[in-house]
Amino acid sequence: MKKYYLADVLTATQVVLAVILAVMTVVEVDAGYAMIVFVLGELCDAFDGICARRWPYPEDGKRRWWRVHAEALDQISDIMLGVAGLAYITFCVHFKLGATLSIVTILIGAGVQAWVYGSLYKQNLKLALKVVLIRRLGYVAAVVWLALIMLWTSSFHQTTKIVLTGMGLILCAILWVVKEDRRMQDKTPPTVKIKPEEDGL
């Protein structure tokens, strides 16, 4: 397989894992196994962007239909996995907790999206970028929290839970360093053209 296909394979795998997690919600699989599927999906999300930047598609004039809306497909796969994770927490772990997390996630996610990309990018680019990055950190924190909830409500042995938590924290630290560019700048281009004298920078 060509290396430049890897990013798309990871995105497709994330979609498959989201569907698997949804099925696991319906059949009420142990939270530990749901956590493994959820974390694998998030790892696919973490590395697909890295692979896409490291091994971009060659400019050979070929039309690849799945690349036409690659950014939208990537966002859809993220949403699918997030919804599947929240659904599992809601219906298999704790209904009130899951419902609260779902409502907060929708309100913050949709609210920030509408505010930032609707008007803030035009009015104050510097502030818009800060808001996007803060939301991104909140997303990371939410992912870690969901994974920990699944792990610590599972039937896994206490020692296994402690070891997996430690491994997860180490992995988070590694990704924190590797994905520094995503922590420091918004890779999502604004939908409006902003003149240099208007961006406040």
Q: Which helix (H) or strand (E) holds 50?
A: helix 31-54
- Position 170 scores a pLDDT of 96
Q: Where are the domains of the chain?
A: 3-198
Nearest CA to 185 among 144, 143, 147, 129? 129
Looking at per-residue confidence, does 59 or 192 come out higher?
59
pLDDT per residue as tens digits for the range 28-44? 999 999 999 999 999 99
N-terminal to C-terminal alpha carbon distance within the chain: 43
Give yes or no for residue 116 having a pLDDT over 90.
no
The pLDDT-based confidence of 195 (bands split at 50, 70, 90) is very low
pLDDT of residue 139 exceeding 70: yes
Indicate if the pLDDT at residue 123 is higher than 60.
yes
Tell me if 89 sits within 8 A of 146, measured CB to CB.
Answer: yes
**CA-wise closest residue to 129 among 45, 42, 49, 201:** 201
Can you give the pLDDT at residue 193?
41
Please say whether the beta carbons of 71 and 187 come within 8 A.
Answer: no
> What number is the average pLDDT over the span 100-126?
88
Residues 84, 25: contact at Cβ < 8 Å? yes
Under 8 Å between Cβ of 22 and 87: yes
Residue 184 is predicted with a pLDDT of 65
CB–CB of 183/173 below 8 Å? Answer: no
Whether 87 shows a pLDDT value over 70: the answer reads yes
pLDDT for residue 200: 41
Out of 88-92, 104-108, 150-154, 187-191, which region has the weakest mean confidence (pLDDT)?
A: 187-191
